[in-house]
Amino acid sequence: MKVSKQEKAKTRKRILQAASDVIIEKGFKSASMREIARRAKVGDATIYNYFATKEKLLYHYCERKQDEVAEALKQIEDFHEYSLQEQLQQLAETELALWLPDREFLAEVFELTFYSSLAGNVNLAGTRKRFKRMVEDMIDAAIEAGEIPDQPYRELLAPLYWDYFIGILAYWLKDDSADHADTTQLIDRSVEIIAMVLHTGMIGKTLDLLSFLFRSRIYRHLEILEERGSPWQKAKRRFMGGDDD
């Protein structure tokens, strides 16, 4: 039986959702591929045609989430009229809104990646790439429109925002205030600072300053080394030289 591309995508989506449900219920370790397959109404073997391992399922789910976030942002009709600050905040808030039903699942993801092995970071590359693409697009658009000055080290900005957002997620996962209002305030205030940094071109200026200090320091150090000539204060005494008696 030939399965159409569309149907395949649908099944994929169903498996991912089932995986999220099962992992939330049982935790990642106890969740079995078989149960996920059953929940998604696909054959025990078929599931492996879609995802070779349980880990893959996890990471693909995160990637799909990013696609959903991008889609949700596109749905906001006047999103392109938002200031960069508002866009960045909306991105963070939309992420949280869409992750909310899967909050426990996300906690599992954190357990497996950021809290333990480095391998997770590699596996999340796809997710990070999608997230970064959204941020880059916002920053590029803001620069094109003249909203913020051109940013030196522009390629660093999106990864930095990713790191920032991982921090926000970690905070959110531990946030027990009603409606996670503390996280809302944290984002509200921190994004304002980020926007200020971007508006003033602060990153470039700070890095310039650092590199200036670094270079002048290193340079002086090199001079000191040269002055010394010999690394020793005086010649070494002979071996066992003082040991006459």
Partner 1 sequence: MTKSVPTGKLGRSGVAGKAFLKVGGKQLTHLAKRPFLSESACRKHQQALDDDTARILFKAFSQLRGTALKIAQLLSMETHLLPESLRRELSKSYHQVPPLGRPLVRKVIQQAFGASPEAVFSGFDFKAFAAASLGQVHAARNGHKEDLAVKLQYPGIDVTIDNDMQLVRLLVKRTRYARLLLSSLDEIEQRLREEVDYRLEADNTEWFQHHLSLRNVTIPQVHRDLSSRRVLTTTCLGGEHLEQWLRQNPTQQSRDHFGQLLYDVFVNSFYGLHALHADPNPGNYLFTEEGTLGLLDFGCVRYFSAEFVTLMPKLLRAYMDQDAQAIIAAYQQFGMVSNMSDEALQAFYDKVLQPFGDWLTKPFKSGRFNFAGHSVSYTKEGWESFRQLAGVNKIDGLADEFIYFDRTFFGLYQIFERMGATVNMEHRWLV
Contacting residue, 1, 4, 77, 236, with partner 1 by CB under 8 A? 77
**Given 11, 20, 66, 90, the residue binding partner 1 (CB under 8 A):** 90
Does 182 bind partner 1 (CB under 8 A)? Our answer is: yes
Q: Which stretch in 19-27, 49-57, 82-90, 113-121 sits in contact with partner 1 by CB under 8 A? A: 82-90
Could you say which of 14, 54, 70, 82 contacts partner 1 (CB under 8 A)? 82
Does 200 bind partner 1 (CB under 8 A)? Our answer is: no
Contact of 62 with 28, CB cutoff 8 Å: no
Q: How far apart are CA 103 and CA 169, in angstroms?
A: 10
- Examine residue 137 and tell whether it contacts partner 1 (CB under 8 A): no
Three-point CA angle 112, 53, 62, nearest 5°: 50
Given candidates 52, 196, 210, 218, which one binds partner 1 under the rule CB under 8 A? 196
CA 81 to chain centre: 26
C-alpha R_g of the chain: 26
Binding segment for partner 1 (CB under 8 A), chosen from 58-66, 121-129, 150-158, 178-186, is 178-186
Only one residue has tokens 């803001």, namely 142
CA-wise closest residue to 97 among 76, 78, 69: 69
CA torsion sign, 228 to 234 to 235 to 236?
Answer: negative
d(CA 72, CA 199): 26
Does residue 99 touch partner 1 according to CB under 8 A? no
Q: Which residues of this chain interact with partner 1, rule CB under 8 A?
A: 76-77, 82, 85-86, 89-90, 93, 97, 177-179, 181-182, 184-185, 188-189, 196
